[in-house]
């Protein structure tokens, strides 16, 4: 199943298309992943970039979403586009300018949502407003919420030492990507080449950013795999032991309910079968927490370590 990344923000000109095109190029060329870019932007900046710059093997699709129709229609169409794009792809990157006409449900189609933002007070406050409106998606407990990665872009060297992200409170749990630096050379790369190849600080900052996205993806995938394993363990039905069958037969005879009143559930007392399952589950939980301890000592960037903990941290 392809991993799906949405690059979006409500604000224009923050660097969505630059990130979508260059991240796709990095994933295809440096990581060797079968990558598809879906450009949902009518201007087609990211698709044009990849089509006109040297070919790095990204499959490019410039598609239209009927955003003006509102409601479920754009979500439905996006789902169809994604279904087609994921066939034969390891990873899909989508470039989309968010508008209020779009339903937040669209974000549940993705594993990760990247929100580029510059670090001026005015931009951060717009980003905060966007995240606030979609808080129910990112902090959702009912559905599998996409991971949220806030991406500082066009950052000036003097802004690197500012504590703006600790002053600006966002209303949701999020991860913070390493900043992509502002540089004239980044603008000059449009349709000519890629940020990952820039031999300067901006190029290096982009490499760190892309590596962090890949690390976040890998952590996310291992969490999903773990969740799936836990779920299958919970639903696993073990064959009934002869002792259990015997006890159930006895209970059927001594049930206090007349047949018509038999409740739709049965309260099964702990049995050998259940406690074996319990012990196994306990062992898995123990192994998991030991793995988490080990992984926290690996070379995972500090901001990503938060991802391995319960998503309650507010930054």
Ligand X SMILES: Nc1ncnc2c1ncn2[C@@H]1O[C@H](COP(=O)(O)OP(=O)(O)OP(=O)(O)O)[C@@H](O)[C@H]1O
Question: Which residues would be at the binding site for ligand X (CB under 6 A)?
Answer: 12-18, 41, 43, 45, 97, 153-154, 180, 182-183, 186-187, 190, 202
Residue with tokens 């009143």: 261
Q: Which stretch binds Mg ion (CB under 5 A): 16-24, 158-166, 238-246, 273-281?
A: 16-24
Residue closer to Mg ion, measured from CB, 41 or 111 = 41
Interface with Mg ion includes 45 (CB under 5 A)?
yes
CA-to-CA dists, residue 126 to 121, 224, 239, 306, angstroms: 9, 31, 56, 24
Residue in 213, 125, 229 with CA at minimum distance from that of residue 177: 213
Residue in 214, 209, 220, 211 with CA at minimum distance from that of residue 308: 220
Q: State which of positions 127-146 bind Mg ion (CB under 5 A).
A: none
Residue closer to ligand X, measured from CB, 97 or 173 = 97
180 binds, among Mg ion, ligand X, none (CB under 5 to 8 A by kind): ligand X
Residue closer to ligand X, measured from CB, 118 or 173 = 118
Q: Which stretch binds Mg ion (CB under 5 A): 36-44, 148-156, 201-209, 274-282?
A: 36-44
Residue closer to ligand X, measured from CB, 14 or 94 = 14
Least distance to ligand X, CB of residue 184, Å? 7
Taking the C-alpha atoms of residue 74 and residue 69, their distance in angstroms, rounded to an integer, is 7
Interface with Mg ion includes 22 (CB under 5 A)?
no
Which DSSP helix (H) or strand (E) runs through 4? strand 3-9
Least distance to ligand X, CB of residue 175, Å? 20
187 binds, among Mg ion, ligand X, none (CB under 5 to 8 A by kind): ligand X
CA-to-CA dists, residue 167 to 116, 124, 163, angstroms: 18, 10, 6
Residue closer to ligand X, measured from CB, 200 or 252 = 200
Residue closer to Mg ion, measured from CB, 62 or 220 = 62
Least distance to ligand X, CB of residue 180, Å? 5
Residue in 202, 199, 207 with CA at minimum distance from that of residue 186: 202
**Secondary structure (DSSP) of 34-65:** -EEEEE--TT-HHHHHHHHSPP-S-EEEE---
Looking at 90-200, list the stretches that DSSP marks H as alpha helix, in order from N- to C-terminal side: 121-133, 135-138, 164-167, 184-188
Binding site for Mg ion (CB under 5 A): 16-17, 41, 45
């Amino acid at each position: 199943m392809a991993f799906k990344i949405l690059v979006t923000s409500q604000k224009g000109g923050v660097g969505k298309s630059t990130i979508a095109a260059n991240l796709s190029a990095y994933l295809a060329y440096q990581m060797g992943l079968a990558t598809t870019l879906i450009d949902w932007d009518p201007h087609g900046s990211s698709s044009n970039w990849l089509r006109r710059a040297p070919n790095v093997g990204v499959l490019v699709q410039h598609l239209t979403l009927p955003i003006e129709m509102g409601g479920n229609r754009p979500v439905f169409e996006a789902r169809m586009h994604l279904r087609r794009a994921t066939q034969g792809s390891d990873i899909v990157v989508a470039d989309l300018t968010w508008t209020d006409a779009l339903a937040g449900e669209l974000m549940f189609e993705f594993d990760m949502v990247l929100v580029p933002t510059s670090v001026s007070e005015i931009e951060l406050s717009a980003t905060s407003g966007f995240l606030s409106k979609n808080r129910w998606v990112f902090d959702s407990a009912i559905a599998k919420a996409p991971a949220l990665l806030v991406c500082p872009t066009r950052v000036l060297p003097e802004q690197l030492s500012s504590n703006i992200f600790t002053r600006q409170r966002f209303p949701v749990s999020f991860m913070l990507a390493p900043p992509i630096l502002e540089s004239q050379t980044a603008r000059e790369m449009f349709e000519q080449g890629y940020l990952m190849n820039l031999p300067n600080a901006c190029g290096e900052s982009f490499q760190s950013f892309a590596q962090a996205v890949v690390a976040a993806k890998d952590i996310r995938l291992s969490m999903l795999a773990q969740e799936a394993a836990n779920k299958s363990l919970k639903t696993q039905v073990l064959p009934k032991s002869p002792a259990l069958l015997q006890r159930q037969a006895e209970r059927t005879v001594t049930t206090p309910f007349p047949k018509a009143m038999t409740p739709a559930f049965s309260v099964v007392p702990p049995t050998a079968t259940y406690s074996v399952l319990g012990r196994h589950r306990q062992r898995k939980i123990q192994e998991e927490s030991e793995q988490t301890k080990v992984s926290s000592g690996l070379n995972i960037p500090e901001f990503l370590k938060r991802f391995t903990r319960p998503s309650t941290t507010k930054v």
